Amino acid sequence: RVPSENGVWERRTTLPAPMFSRNDFSIWGFLKKCIGMELSKITMPVVFNEPLSFLQRITEYMEHAYLIHKACTMSDSIERMQLVAAFAVSAVASQWDRTGKPFNPLLGETYELTREDESYRLISEQVSHHPPISAFFAESLSQDFVFHGSIYPKLKFWGKSVEAEPKGTMTLELSKHKEAYTWTNPMCCVHNVILGKLWIEQYGTVEIVNHSTGDKCVLNFKPCGMFAVTCIKYQAECLAVKPYITFDSIQNIKYQNTSYEQNTGGAVDADEMPDVQETVTMIPGSTLQWRIAPRPAHSAQMYNFTSFAMTLNELEPGMEGVIAPTDCRLRPDIRAMENGDIDTASQEKERLEEKQRAARRERAKDGEDWSTRWFHQGVNPYTGTSDWVYTGGYFDRKYSDLPDIY
């Protein structure tokens, strides 16, 4: 733990160790045994992981929370919508080049992120194991917004690629404006699992609905790296094209190592990763809402993490004994992996998964059902679809009767 010169503790900017080289491992050598199987039921070798739990990966949404704070200060609902759209887009950008698989959360696992400096706190819980469902709830410390949702990443293995459909609704409520926005995340695809360089693509249409005004913002993520996004407002019969949000500084990300060359008899071609455009053409009259930050210099040796991602698994001073015992910062396999100890990570991952299976068998024997702790199943009041609702109370820190999952 390194205090800076003036003795103030600073959040870390790097991981304790660089990543284990994946060059000697073939993801295909492993996946070909799994064709036709449901990917969530497959235990992948830990070398394909990144040292974060899926709960931490979805928390990356909060990297650009200042966009929501800014939206709250806007008096015009169209300006608010633009910032909410920028927020939704910013979450897509942090996924760029992130082909490491986050650890599957254990049932009952939690992750809390309290960021007083950014004025928000978040709690998430793994509420279902099969299918895997993660629920989260974030709130502004100044009570100006809540952001919540649940994600069920439905994975399909297509041979050459793995496709993830992040099912679930994102809901953002701006209290002062009495507004609620909802949307769903775009599709996500990891290319070249057989041969070539792994790369990640996100595509599809994201419709952000402002349920108070009826405004809709349609973000069209075009496949193949066309990151251009337009924001459209439908109102009566007029259609106004609003700003153009661009991803121009993506060229700052250097592509590194990880090639999975395989002899597949020449039958399969790698899907080319599109070239990244260096310059961005702005539609005249448009305004730039948000721009991606370059990845830190050592990112390529560290799972292509953003600066924000580097901080997520840090056990900060004063956290021990304060965060719940189910918090994934306390997971020994993830901790070992971030320290570069891949063998311990792998053994611990196996042990935890076996412990989870044993606990499930016990419950089955006693006819007990699993009960979630901080969230309950319910209905999203705006979309009417099924959702996971925050029960509340996590930050009262009464952790009695939490399951022993590690």
In the shown chain, the binding pattern of residues 27 to 46 toward ligand CLR, with x for contact by CB under 6 A and - for none, equals x-------------------
- Rounded CA-CA distance 132/361 in Å is 18
Three state DSSP letters for 278-312: CCCCCCCCCCCCCCCCCCCHHHHHCCCCCHHHHHC
Of the candidates 55, 172, 188, 334, which one interacts with ligand CLR according to CB under 6 A? 188
**Ranges within 101-140 binding ligand CLR (CB under 6 A):** 101-102
Q: Which stretch binds ligand CLR (CB under 6 A): 183-191, 236-244, 327-335, 375-383?
A: 183-191
Q: Which stretch binds ligand CLR (CB under 6 A): 95-103, 251-259, 265-273, 279-287?
A: 95-103
Q: Which stretch binds ligand CLR (CB under 6 A): 18-26, 93-101, 115-123, 233-241?
A: 93-101
Of the candidates 53, 59, 90, 99, which one interacts with ligand CLR according to CB under 6 A? 99
- Using a 10 angstrom Cβ sphere, with 0-12 exposed, 13-18 middle and 19 or more buried, the burial of residue 382 is middle
Partners of 165 in beta bridges:
154
Nearer to ligand CLR, 188 or 345 (CB): 188
Q: Is 182 in the site for ligand CLR (CB under 6 A)?
A: no
80, two tokens: 């608010």
Cβ–Cβ < 8 Å for 380, 387: yes
Three-state DSSP state, 50: strand
Q: Is 71 in the site for ligand CLR (CB under 6 A)?
A: no
Report the number of secondary-structure helices (H) and strands (E) in the chain.
7, 16
Of the candidates 53, 57, 67, 242, which one interacts with ligand CLR according to CB under 6 A? 57
Q: Is 189 in the site for ligand CLR (CB under 6 A)?
A: no
Q: Is 149 in the site for ligand CLR (CB under 6 A)?
A: no
**Among the listed residues 150, 59, 46, the one whose alpha carbon sits nearest the alpha carbon of residue 103:** 46
Q: How many CB atoms lie within 10 A of CB 395?
A: 12
Q: Which stretch binds ligand CLR (CB under 6 A): 136-144, 161-169, 297-305, 335-343?
A: 161-169
Cβ–Cβ < 8 Å for 310, 12: yes
Q: Is 336 in the site for ligand CLR (CB under 6 A)?
A: no
Cβ–Cβ < 8 Å for 249, 294: yes
- Rounded CA-CA distance 232/239 in Å is 7
Q: Is 49 in the site for ligand CLR (CB under 6 A)?
A: no
> What's the min distance (Å) between Cβ of 303 and ligand CLR?
10
Of the candidates 190, 310, 328, 352, which one interacts with ligand CLR according to CB under 6 A? 190
Residues that bind ligand CLR (CB under 6 A): 27, 48, 57-58, 91, 95, 99, 101-102, 151, 153, 155, 162, 164, 166, 185, 188, 190, 193, 198
